[in-house]
């Protein structure tokens, strides 16, 4: 388990991101940069955050034909990131192509970024999965199926909810990563998330990393909320 909660920096501009990070000037963070920030600010913001010394999960959730994902990953791997992802529903060949792209594109081959795959988004319910994706399995079985495919394709782990982490580790291995968004401190607004857990519960259920966005970024005192979540996540 990584002791630092990942902070999802879901901002539109580099300015907002930089202002937020100045609050944490004495802390080495693990941050998640996603589509909102990357699509509007490009590789420059990734390099800028990396230069501050923070670890980076680049959450772009690639999902395309294997050749396109291979070529995109090869380019992204040059950014010196620590973790990156694809959608497991893109298939085993696509996931293997993503891995090949990373291996070829990473300048320091002894320090490859972790490659993980999204199973079912934490905003998805079993009902929505059945009605919209026409998957008739239970949500747990669908997540486990994608996790098994991901493991067999040679990736390092998955994005799932904390509720699925223990079972995923059972069918893969104890060091297969379960990165879990949908984290909400008790009483916090759930927003569009569906499969949520508190930091404490995620700790108990075997998450490897927790991802927390709005409860921290929209707090009136983000540093205080981050420290409180960090304590709960570490079982203190």
Ligand X SMILES: O=c1ccn([C@@H]2O[C@H](COP(=O)(O)O)[C@@H](O)[C@H]2O)c(=O)[nH]1
71 carries a ligand binding annotation: no
65 carries a ligand binding annotation: yes
Q: Which is nearer to ligand X, 121 or 205 (CB)?
A: 121
Task: Report in angstroms the alpha-carbon separations of 141 from 51, 89, 116, 127, 171.
Answer: 41, 14, 18, 14, 11
Answer yes or no: are the C-beta atoms of 55 and 30 closer than 8 Å: yes
Active site (annotated) includes residue 61: yes
Does the footprint of ligand X cover residue 34 (CB under 6 A)?
yes
Which stretches within 52-183 are classed as H helix?
A: 66-76, 92-105, 126-133, 139-152, 162-171
Residues 188-207 that bind ligand X (CB under 6 A): 191, 193
213 carries a ligand binding annotation: yes
Answer yes or no: are the C-beta atoms of 179 and 209 closer than 8 Å: yes
Does the footprint of ligand X cover residue 118 (CB under 6 A)?
yes
d(CA 32, CA 132): 28
Q: Which is nearer to ligand X, 67 or 221 (CB)?
A: 221
d(CA 82, CA 100): 16
For residue 65, what are its two tokens? 């034909």
Does the footprint of ligand X cover residue 63 (CB under 6 A)?
no
Site map 70..109 versus ligand X, x via CB under 6 A: ----------------------------------------
The residue within the footprint of ligand X, chosen from 8, 49, 62, 115 (CB under 6 A), is 8
The residue within the footprint of ligand X, chosen from 211, 225, 226, 229 (CB under 6 A), is 211
Residue nearest to ligand X (CB): 213
The residue within the footprint of ligand X, chosen from 86, 88, 213, 225 (CB under 6 A), is 213
Neighbours of 36 (CB within 10 A): 15
9 carries a ligand binding annotation: no
Taking the CA atoms of residue 15, residue 51, residue 76 and residue 114 in that order, the dihedral angle to the nearest 10 degrees is -120
Q: At its nearest, how many Å lie between ligand X and the CB of residue 109?
A: 28
Q: Which of 18, 47, 50, 61 is catalytic?
A: 61
Answer yes or no: are the C-beta atoms of 161 and 118 closer than 8 Å: no
Q: Which residues are catalytic?
A: 59, 61, 64
Please report, as ranges, the residues that interact with ligand X according to CB under 6 A.
8, 10, 34, 59, 118, 121-122, 159, 181-182, 191, 193, 211-214
């Amino acid at each position: 388990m990584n002791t630092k909660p990942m902070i999802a920096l879901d901002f539109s501009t580099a300015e907002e991101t930089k202002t937020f990070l100045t609050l944490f000037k004495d802390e080495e963070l693990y941050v998640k940069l996603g589509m909102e920030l990357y699509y509007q600010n490009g590789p420059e913001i990734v390099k800028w955050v990396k230069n501050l010394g923070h670890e980076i999960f680049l959450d772009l959730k690639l999902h395309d034909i294997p050749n396109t994902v291979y070529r995109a990953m090869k380019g992204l791997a040059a950014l010196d990131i620590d973790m990156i992802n694809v959608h497991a529903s893109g298939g085993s060949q696509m996931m293997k192509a993503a891995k090949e792209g990373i291996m070829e594109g990473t300048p320091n081959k002894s320090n490859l970024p972790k490659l993980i795959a999204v199973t079912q988004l934490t905003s998805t319910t079993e009902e929505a999965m059945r009605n919209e994706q026409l998957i008739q399995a239970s949500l747990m079985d669908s997540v486990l199926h994608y996790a098994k495919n991901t493991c067999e394709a040679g990736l390092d782990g998955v994005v799932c909810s904390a509720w699925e982490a223990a079972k995923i580790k059972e069918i893969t291995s104890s060091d297969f990563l379960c990165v879990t968004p949908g984290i909400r401190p008790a009483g916090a607004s759930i927003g569009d998330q569906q499969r949520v857990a508190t930091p404490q519960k995620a700790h108990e259920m075997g998450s490897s990393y927790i991802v927390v966005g709005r409860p921290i970024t929209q707090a009136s005192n983000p540093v205080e909320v981050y420290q409180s979540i960090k304590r709960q996540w570490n079982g203190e």
